[in-house]
Amino acid sequence: MATIRMENDRDMVLEADLTDLQIIIDEATKNVDLYKDEIAIIYEKMPKFDYKYFCFYAYSTYHLLEAAMDFDTSNVGHFRLDAPDEFYYAFYGMVATLHTKCID
């Protein structure tokens, strides 16, 4: 299960693993229209960062993660996702599938 911790007063870290993907998938599929712009940005840009170095905070593409994992970034200066490499690749596969659904 994902954990959220603060590294200091302004840096939030979400530590996730493969089991957390189901929660994210459920949130995304229930609210595809809400996240379609975010999905499009992640789909387009994540490969350019070798998937695992993508910065969700820089592109404001953390709202899906925020809702699925029930945390709030409004009072932090930076947000980082810490996860195994497999998580990022599986997450991108999910995003690619949702992106296809969004453009239909």
pLDDT for 104 equals 61
The rounded distance, in Å, linking the Cα atoms of 35 and 8 is: 29
At 11 the three-state DSSP class reads: strand
At 30 the three-state DSSP class reads: helix
pLDDT tens, residue order, the chain (104 aa): 789 999 988 888 999 999 999 999 999 999 999 999 999 999 999 999 999 999 888 888 989 999 999 888 888 878 889 999 999 999 999 999 999 887 66
pLDDT for 1 equals 78
Name 79's bridge partners.
12
> Mind listing the pLDDT tens digit for each residue in 60-87?
898 999 999 988 888 887 888 999 999 9
The rounded distance, in Å, linking the Cα atoms of 44 and 77 is: 25
Helix 21-30 crosses helix 85-103 at what angle (to 10 degrees)? 10
pLDDT for 76 equals 84
**Backbone phi and psi for residue 70, each to the nearest 5 degrees, phi listed first:** 55, 60
Contacts 24+ apart (CB under 8 A), 44-49: 46/88, 46/92, 46/95, 47/92
